[in-house]
Amino acid sequence: MQRGKRRKQQRGGYLGGTTRYGYHPVDKELTPDQAEQEVARRIRRLHRGGLSIRKITDQLNAGQVPAKRGGAWHPTTVARVLRRTS
């Protein structure tokens, strides 16, 4: 069973738990969330443009862009988005 789960996860399948930013589960599969994907692209663009993670966080919060769970952004969350989607 563990091998099967590992294979599913390696193929991008959803095993449960919190999903990464930019995706949500649909019928036990991860599906791109277009609104979150656009925010992730914006984060990457800002970072490539030279903004620090802290400045990106401040911009997202000032613009009232909701984080994954609807709250405020934190620098660690922005860094995680950059690490997972770069």
pLDDT tens-digit map of 23-67: 888 877 778 899 999 999 999 999 999 999 999 999 999 999 999
Single pTM value for the model: 0.77
CB 80 within 8 A of CB 39: no
CATH for 53: 3.90.1750.20
pLDDT at res. 29:
78
DSSP 28-56: TEEEE-HHHHHHHHHHHHHHHTT--HHHH
Domain count, the chain: 1
- 74 pLDDT band (50/70/90 cuts)? very high
**Strands 29-32 and 23-26: what pairing?**
antiparallel
Domain membership of residue 22 as a residue range: 2-85
